Chain A
Amino acid sequence: MQEIAFYLLATVTLGAALCVVTLRNVLHSSLSLGLCLAGVAGIFATLGADFVFVSQILVYVGGIAVLVLFVVLLAARQSENFLRQTNQQWIAGVFLAGAALWGMARYIALYRTQTAPASAQPTTRAIAKLLLTDLAVPFELVSLVLLAALAGAILYSHHDKEETEAPGTERPGEHYSEVKP
């Protein structure tokens, strides 16, 4: 049963991840990203990490995937679906990724016989205790990081009305939009 769940979730996760990096339409990529993040949440569930599973669903699938989807809808054009979406060095990228996977697989082979110690138990109480005792200072610091990210996002995405572009400004992306279907 556990094997079936693991292989199913792994197939969904890796297939969706491949779709994220290979699909031409960025909208389809971002939808596959949501599927991939949900698959990773399922992997957390098979590992018995209930609180991390819920956080992953809440933050990633419910927050980040939707945010990426919104930005894709705001900053995409129809004509981009007919353009090449990878750069010229993609063959070198395949070789580099394959070499990295081969190197990691050699070390992963050391853990081939490592099985789980016992059945998983609920972890929410233990995580809460950790966050309020040993990790209290990082917990507060991370809230500062979130505040800074919030302020930065508002600062950068704030639309200044007077800063509309002057006529005749060079637009580097313009020559891509001349491609017709």
Chain B
Amino acid sequence: MTLAHYLFLSSALFVIGLFGALTRRNVIGILMSIELMFNAANINFVAFNRYLVPHAHGVLGQAFTIFNITIAAAEIVVGLALVLSIYRKISTVYAEDYNLLRG
């Protein structure tokens, strides 16, 4: 296995998440696609740390992945709370209906 295998897997995952975030109408679907992109970044961190850094020089990439997972969890929690709150107000989860501020 070379590093390119892992990098190609993570970029494919990122691109799938990008496509979902651009094209889904459902806000929950957009949040799920953003989670896919976070995971692609995490695979990149761990793969670069495994392949380019000798073990004696530390595992900074993996420690950073822990932070990344934490931030992603905080993001999805606040995002889903916002979606639920908006759904209670206007009874829709579709992004194009969120137009209360349109003039």
Contact = CB atoms under 8 A, between A and B. Distances in A.
A13 B40 CA distance: 11
**Contact size range, A:** 35 or more
Given A47-B6, A68-B76, A123-B62, A101 B28 contact: no
B26 A85 contact: yes
A66 B49 CA distance: 30
Contacts of A138: 67
A125 B18 CA distance: 35
Contacts of A78: none
State the majority secondary structure of interface residues on A: helix
Interface of B: 1-9, 11-20, 22-26, 28-29, 31-33, 35-36, 39, 42-43, 46-47, 49-52, 54-55, 58-60, 62-63, 65-67, 69-78, 80-85, 87-94, 96-97, 99
29 contacts: A2-B1, A26-B26, A29-B32, A43-B43, A44-B46, A47-B6, A47-B46, A55-B66, A59-B73, A71-B83, A75-B87, A93-B22, A94-B19, A96-B19, A100-B14, A101-B11, A104-B15, A105-B11, A111-B2, A111-B51, A115-B2, A121-B55, A135-B67, A153-B78, A155-B81, A156-B84, A156-B85, A159-B88, A171-B90
